[in-house]
Amino acid sequence: MLLDYLGIALNGVKHRKRRTLLTVIGVVIGVLAIVSLVSIGQGLQDSLQRQAEAAGSDAILISASGGSERDTVNLFDADDTQAVRATRGVEAAAPNLFGGVRSEYQGEQAFLNVRAGPLDREKLIYDIDSLELLEGRLLRSSDTGSAMVVRNVAENSFDKEVRLGTRLEMANESYTVVGIVERGLATGTRSVYLTEEEGREVLGRGDGFGSIVAKASGNISQVEERIQRNLRDSREVEEDEEDFNTVTFVGILESFNSQISQVQGLLLGLGGISVAVGAVGIMNTMYTSVTQRTHEIGVMKAIGASRRQILTVFLFEAGLIGAVGGLLGAMLGTGLSTVAARIISDSVGLEFSAFVGPSLFAGGALFGFVVGSVAGTLPARKASKLPPAEALDE
């Protein structure tokens, strides 16, 4: 029986190709917008989730700031680092330097991010960045004139690939590349790792560190509060006047997810308007179809078709139009989101891919079918209520 309904619906659509095509386009635009947003949003959330898991849910980042009455950043010193390490629940803590610098490689310049710190504790930063050694070796505390780069720097920062043993120029000094690593956290960043002393020279920094990374055990929120309390004592500042900020990777993830959800909600609303316009188009097409097929409806009723069967035929036809538009919209939406994700990844340095799966295509087709069926309800009811004799006279 369902195949019969489908056959009649296909036949009806086939005889009004141009009008059906225009109606389908309206549905395609709405579903395309919704699917592309869902695909990008889900892909970004999945990427952030993976990177947060790679960094560890037990990591706390403490950053120096200017405070309420300071115009310049008040860097961390050795006492601050020790205060963090002495905090109950902190397993390890490592200060580090971070900053941007213009670099040169074989005559070509690029802006790179330098990360440096004391190597006796630097292993913690390596763990949090989720570094995987691809070529060469990790930096040693005894290294001089050496650098370690992430794969994105080696492959994408310059026209010529940065290889082991080649030299990077930074701040009028030359550094030999001794290792190439993959960074699990923010893989798209252009990071270069140096020893603490050489990092200070390149960044032009004196004593002090811009941030401290801590690894916590137990309740991370409570450990974060203890760190804040100890740092206030160490830096002699009052509560709400702190010249530092603390954040957990779990908190970063929750903040990103919240912001993504808000943006998605707004844009999905705009996509919903496009779908509503498509639904109105389906309704208009189906009203026209009922008017043009009045005699056909009379014949079906004359040979015994019930009102429910007539209703089902036209609902199937409206749903079919919506399903075709939904499927095409899902296909185009995933294609668009894949391209957009690549552009966003290259632009902001966050490697992620759009979510693409059978559920998107099935969901797009099903969503389109439901929209079409709902939009075709009134025209289908009109067709089912036509008196047989009156319909045959048309």
Residues with Cβ < 8 Å from 345, sequence gap 6 or more? Answer: 188, 351, 352, 353
**CA 164 to CA 200: how far, in whole Å?**
23
Q: Give the per-residue pLDDT at 139.
A: 86
Closest CA to 81 of 70, 72, 73, 90: 90
Residue 30 confidence (pLDDT): 85
Residue whose tokens read 């990591």:
59
Identify the weakest region by mean pLDDT among 14-23, 91-100, 363-372: 14-23
pLDDT at 136: 93
Confidence of residue 71 (pLDDT cuts 50, 70, 90): very low
Rounded Cα distance, 330 and 362, in Å: 9
Is the pLDDT at 36 greater than 60? The verdict is yes
Better pLDDT: 55 or 336: 336
The DSSP 8-state label assigned to residue 350 in this structure reads: -
Nearest-angstrom CA–CA distance, 353 and 388: 57
Residue type, 168: L
76 and 154 Cβ atoms separated by less than 8 Å: no
Residues of the chain with pLDDT > 70, as a percent, come to 84
Summarised one tens digit per residue, pLDDT across range 337-353 is 888 888 777 665 566 77
In the predicted structure, residue 235 carries a pLDDT above the cut 70: yes
> Which distant-in-sequence residues (6+ apart) come within 8 Å of 358 by Cβ?
none
For residue 67, is pLDDT > 60?
A: no
Average pLDDT for 81-98: 88
The alpha carbon torsion through 40, 42, 47, 51 (nearest 10 deg) reads: 140
pLDDT at 105: 93
What band does 317 get if pLDDT is binned at 50, 70 and 90?
A: confident
Phi-psi region of 244 (alpha: psi -120 to 50; beta: other; left: phi over 0): beta
181 CA to centre of own chain: 24
- The reported pLDDT for the residue numbered 251 is 73
247-292 pLDDT, tens digit per residue, is 887 777 777 777 777 777 777 777 788 888 888 888 888 888 777 7
Residue 190: the pLDDT is 82
For residue 68, is pLDDT > 50? no
For residue 70, the model assigns a pLDDT of 41
In the predicted model, is pLDDT for residue 1 greater than 60? no
55 pLDDT band, cuts 50/70/90, is: low
Q: Give the C-alpha separation, 102 to 203, whole Å.
A: 10
Q: Which two tokens stand for residue 76?
A: 């961390």
User: Parallel, antiparallel, or unpaired for β 191-195 and 146-150?
Assistant: antiparallel
Mean pLDDT for all residues in the chain? 81
The whole-angstrom separation of Cα 108 and Cα 142 is 29
Q: Where are the alpha helices (DSSP H) in 100-217?
A: 119-129, 151-156, 196-203
For the segment 288-303, the average pLDDT, to the nearest whole number, is 76
The residue ranges of every structural domain in the chain are 2-53+254-393, 66-242
